[in-house]
Amino acid sequence: MEFTAATIAQFLQGIVEGNPDVKVNNIAKIEEGQPGYLSFLANPKYEKYIYTTESSVVLVNKDFVATEPIKATLIRVADAYQAFAFLLDMVSKARGEKKGVSKQVEIEPTAKIGENPYIGAFVYIGENARIGNNVKLYPQVYIGDNVTIGDEAILYPGVKVYYDCVIGNNVTIHAGTVIGSDGFGFAPSEDGNYKKIPQLGNVILEDYVEIGANTAIDRAVMGSTIVRKGAKIDNLIQIAHNVEIGENTVIAAQTGIAGSAKVGKGCMIGGQVGIVGHIAIPDGMKIAAQSGISSNLRNDGDVVQGSPAFGFGKYQRCYAVFKNLPDLRNTVIELEKKVKALEK
Amino acid sequence: MEFTAATIAQFLQGIVEGNPDVKVNNIAKIEEGQPGYLSFLANPKYEKYIYTTESSVVLVNKDFVATEPIKATLIRVADAYQAFAFLLDMVSKARGEKKGVSKQVEIEPTAKIGENPYIGAFVYIGENARIGNNVKLYPQVYIGDNVTIGDEAILYPGVKVYYDCVIGNNVTIHAGTVIGSDGFGFAPSEDGNYKKIPQLGNVILEDYVEIGANTAIDRAVMGSTIVRKGAKIDNLIQIAHNVEIGENTVIAAQTGIAGSAKVGKGCMIGGQVGIVGHIAIPDGMKIAAQSGISSNLRNDGDVVQGSPAFGFGKYQRCYAVFKNLPDLRNTVIELEKKVKALEK
Amino acid sequence: MEFTAATIAQFLQGIVEGNPDVKVNNIAKIEEGQPGYLSFLANPKYEKYIYTTESSVVLVNKDFVATEPIKATLIRVADAYQAFAFLLDMVSKARGEKKGVSKQVEIEPTAKIGENPYIGAFVYIGENARIGNNVKLYPQVYIGDNVTIGDEAILYPGVKVYYDCVIGNNVTIHAGTVIGSDGFGFAPSEDGNYKKIPQLGNVILEDYVEIGANTAIDRAVMGSTIVRKGAKIDNLIQIAHNVEIGENTVIAAQTGIAGSAKVGKGCMIGGQVGIVGHIAIPDGMKIAAQSGISSNLRNDGDVVQGSPAFGFGKYQRCYAVFKNLPDLRNTVIELEKKVKALEK
């Protein structure tokens, strides 16, 4: 799609400054602009780029005052960042509109599919599955028996959902992610072998949850592993059986959460964090990347860091001393000698 | 499926106390029970829940003595936990019985399939593959050329097994896991480019191995990457080329084991552990989560922790001092001043 | 395939010593040899194995002098390691030659496929995709709309490439890897909910890049996430939106790189490393396994280690003191008492 500056300005209720007929068909950061691209300038820190950008059109705030000549066509709007975000959304929506059902799918006769679906090639849908309206199942998705999927959900290519799991409305799951695999439960026998403990629960993803690529969320032993409304889970994350993730909690890539841990709402958890089983993380907790949480924590407003983790500021001060430990030891050795001499 | 308390009691050779006609169709922990659910009470610690549970039926030990009124129907059995585990197994087996071969599969004519298979939609089976009896290949599984799969194996949706790999009897592999991808072997050239070292070996998973979801086990350069009998490997684990995992070793999620490392039998390895290449982990070793193992270790019965790891107890004591390092440093600075004063 | 020692010697321009008619059909390390296998001896450290190996044929250097009797047939060549590597390459190439297009694929009519493709069963290729010559797409691969794939690329089973991504010539991607999933971008609202920031850029993998299994590389917000020419990325790695990985950089398994970080060329990054967003790693940097990089680093030629990371040698010395911190603290306590006594 290609639009003129005039069309975009009309759409955004903005004012064109420069050539209204210049056309753009793509978007870029102002510092990475090229001819045919649209960019925006909101943060004064980036002002210098507007004098050198190759972008053809730049959205700016109404009150922006240039101090040097500008090559690009400007569109003045009330809020350049908001206007740009609005355009991003439009582009995004225009792109994603896959529709229809491929001929090469296998849908069990007892499954029920809602209105206006997209079901890509090589999708399998199991017995008694219930798929809502306006759902998009990209190619090679697997939906097990008795799975429920809400309206407006998007499952990208190759997502696998095991039997009995429940996916809410407006849930998005990225490619390769597995929902509902067996929890890791084995009971040791006297002969050293392990006996599998059947994992008979399920996984529930509430509305507006988004899950990244190649993540794994195990089904509960009994009951449910639950990701609450609006939580955002990144790529390559491990969520074990019977875990509960609170509302609007955000978890960065490669973090692992062991069995039956309960993470509060509104938490922010960095990448590669490990949380042991059967503990509770309070609401609003912030955990720095690579930390290990091995016991229940109080949320005193500080970020925690370390393995095991404690207050971020304190950790930083301890680590600063750690980096000079050989000097500290030498000082102590020196003191020992001096004290010995004094004692004589 | 729905059963009365009387039917279950008969099946378990137990004695009903309460309404024998009440029906259950699901199971739950006693503290999460609901009408229509069956629970159990074995650990006296949980006794309080039996007086408040909403479960319709609860299995209890023969000698259980109630101290308050109980709403649920009880079934008294010799061992409530064992009886419950037995029921879980029954439920689990009743559920999993997928059978038959989808019409939408691609099986090379030279492949041989055993008796009573389940081969789901969009499965590919390569040339000269040998599939045992009672094997379940869920939808979108890929079996490469010359792969051998033993009897009773279950490969969940989207598992990928590269050519020449060998999967034993009673092996279970969860969705998205990759078996036999190329080991990470590249030889640096003088010009800074890397030349790939062909990875011509395979992966062998012995009998009763279970592998979680989205794990990756690389094929050997030459010879085999081996997971020995009964080992249990969780989700998102990396096992590099030529690694060997001992019998009945259990490895938690997101652990990584580098090339040619040899892990003994009966080990317990926590989540997010890293083990460097070409070292040996002795039999029965226990490694705490997030540890790094960078050299050969002795197994002195202690769990190891840290990166690099050493004894758990010792690590805990060191870490306790670490958390107060700024104070220790201040004490030393203070001492320096005092000694200086004394020396005058 | 089976070859006599004489045939192999002729092929390698070597000289047979022993039975020229003995046949081999496989290869093994000299210490793991079996009848019918070919091995090599280059490193004198391994000489002892040549006297006990069960391999039928061993490649040795021209000037090798045996000190004991040898059962195997020898082939003397100028450089035994090079000759062996050459044979590995031949075996590898002989094996991989998949060809043709399965009947069970879905290829949009607007897609363009180059000459001599292999397109396995259940592959989906989207609208306006451009696939080069001699490309191999193994079963269950997904290629989104507008994706470009260069010549000689190999995508193993189940690889998913989202729309608009660009894959160079001679790129190899292992099973289960996801290219172009949405970056993890959400803007917090005042009510605690998060609003998704559309991720409209793409991923570019330049020529000769190799990616392992079950890795995830997110598309850029705008612009591109880029992996430069010849970089090698192992299994289960997370590469976030707008990251750039330099030419010939090598990254081991389970490492995670956060948004907009820029990794230089010729770097060597160990397993389970974490790199925070928006920082730059200089060319040629070496980072030890499990390290955390939280700020821009200078490359002073040392490997870095720790979380946060600093010089490897210094880290080792600090960690040595850390392992004896309780003793150091006790010494300080002892000193305090002595100084107090002296002060009296």
Q: A122: nearest CA in chain C?
A: C122
Tokens 């403990």, located at residue: A197
Distance CA C144, CA C131 (A): 12
Provide the total of helices (H) and of strands (E) in chain C, helices listed first.
Answer: 5, 40
Distance CA B125, CA B106 (A): 6
Selected catalytic residue, list A76, A160, A228, A241: A241
- Assign B199 a pLDDT band (cuts: 50, 70, 90): very high
What are the angstrom distances between the C-alpha of C125 and each of A118, C141, C149, C173? 16, 8, 11, 16
Distance CA C305, CA C312 (A): 5
C254 shares contact with chain B (CB less than 8 Å) = yes
- CA atoms lying within 13 Å on the CB side of residue C137: 31
Q: What pLDDT, on a 0 to 100 scale, did the predictor assign at position A89?
A: 83
Q: With a cut of 70, say whether residue B331 has pLDDT above it.
A: yes
C263, amino acid identity: V
Yes or no, beta carbons of A184 and B235 under 8 Å apart: yes
- Assign C188 a pLDDT band (cuts: 50, 70, 90): confident
Structure tokens at C199: 């991720």
Q: What pLDDT, on a 0 to 100 scale, did the predictor assign at position C90?
A: 82
Q: What pLDDT, on a 0 to 100 scale, did the predictor assign at position B96?
A: 61
CA distance C323 to chain B (A): 6
Q: Is the dihedral of CA A57, A59, A61, A62 positive or negative?
A: positive
Yes or no, beta carbons of C122 and A120 under 8 Å apart: no
B244 shares contact with chain C (CB less than 8 Å) = no
Beta strand B309-311 with B303-306 is: antiparallel
- Assign C164 a pLDDT band (cuts: 50, 70, 90): very high
Dihedrals phi, psi of C225, to nearest 5 degrees? -85, 130
Q: What is the mean pLDDT of chain A?
A: 95
Is there a cis peptide before residue B308, judged by omega within 30 degrees of 0?
Answer: yes
Contacts of A339 in chain B (CB under 8 A): 339
Contacts of C186 in chain A (CB under 8 A): 210, 232, 250
Q: With a cut of 70, say whether residue C181 has pLDDT above it.
A: yes
Q: What pLDDT, on a 0 to 100 scale, did the predictor assign at position A26?
A: 86
Contacts of B236 in chain A (CB under 8 A): 214, 216, 236, 238, 256
| Whole-number percent of chain B with pLDDT over 90 | 85
Q: What pLDDT, on a 0 to 100 scale, did the predictor assign at position B80?
A: 93
Residue C219 near residue C198 (C-beta atoms within 8 A): no
What are the angstrom distances between the C-alpha of C118 and each of B174, C152, C332? 28, 11, 71
A55 shares contact with chain C (CB less than 8 Å) = no
Contacts of C223 in chain A (CB under 8 A): 28-29, 32
Predicted TM-score of the model (pTM):
0.93
Contacts of B318 in chain C (CB under 8 A): 322-326
Residues paired with B149 in a beta bridge: B131, B167
Residues C13-71: pLDDT tens digits?
A: 999 999 999 999 888 889 989 999 999 999 999 999 999 999 999 999 999 999 999 99
Chosen from A321, A330, A342, A344 to mutate, greatest number of chain B CBs within 10 A: A321
Sheet with A136-137, strands from edge to edge, namely A100-101, A118-119, A136-137, A154-155, A172-173, A210-211, A232-233, A250-251, A268-269, A286-287, A303-306, A309-311
In residues, how long is chain B?
Answer: 344
CA distance B284 to chain C (A): 24
| Three-class SS state of C286 | strand
Yes or no, beta carbons of B29 and A222 under 8 Å apart: yes
- Assign C96 a pLDDT band (cuts: 50, 70, 90): low
Structure tokens at C313: 């040698």
Rounding to the nearest 10 degrees, give the CA dihedral for residues B261, B262, B268, B269.
0
Q: With a cut of 80, say whether residue C1 has pLDDT above it.
A: no
* Element housing A339 (H / E): helix A325-343
DSSP character at residue C72? S
C94 shares contact with chain B (CB less than 8 Å) = no
- Assign B209 a pLDDT band (cuts: 50, 70, 90): very high
Residues C209-239: pLDDT tens digits?
A: 999 999 999 999 999 999 999 999 999 999 9
CA distance C108 to chain A (A): 11
A325 shares contact with chain C (CB less than 8 Å) = yes
Query: What domains are there in chain B, each with its CATH number?
Result: 3-94 (3.40.1390.10), 100-316 (2.160.10.10)
Q: What pLDDT, on a 0 to 100 scale, did the predictor assign at position A96?
A: 60
- List the single residue in C186, C274, C339 with the smallest CB-CB distance to A232: C186
Residues A194-240: pLDDT tens digits?
A: 989 899 999 999 999 999 999 999 999 999 999 999 999 999 999 99
C178 shares contact with chain A (CB less than 8 Å) = yes
Inter-chain contacts counted by CB atoms under 8 A, chains A and B: 178
Q: What is the mean pLDDT of chain C?
A: 95
- H-assigned helices in C65-216: 80-95
Distance CA A226, CA B146 (A): 41
A339 shares contact with chain B (CB less than 8 Å) = yes
Q: With a cut of 90, say whether residue B315 has pLDDT above it.
A: yes
Mean pLDDT confidence for B231-251: 98
Instruction: Please give the angle made by the CA atoms of C118, B121 and C167, to the nearest 5 degrees.
Output: 35
Q: What pLDDT, on a 0 to 100 scale, did the predictor assign at position C300?
A: 86
CA distance C68 to chain A (A): 44
For chain A, list the contacting chains (3+ Cβ pairs, <8 Å). B, C
Distance CA C253, CA A236 (A): 12
CA distance B114 to chain C (A): 22
Yes or no, beta carbons of B181 and C158 under 8 Å apart: no
Enumerate residue ranges in chain A where pLDDT < 50.
none
Q: What pLDDT, on a 0 to 100 scale, did the predictor assign at position A344?
A: 83
Sheet with A124-125, strands from edge to edge, namely A106-107, A124-125, A142-143, A160-161, A178-181, A216-218, A238-239, A256-257, A274-275, A292-293
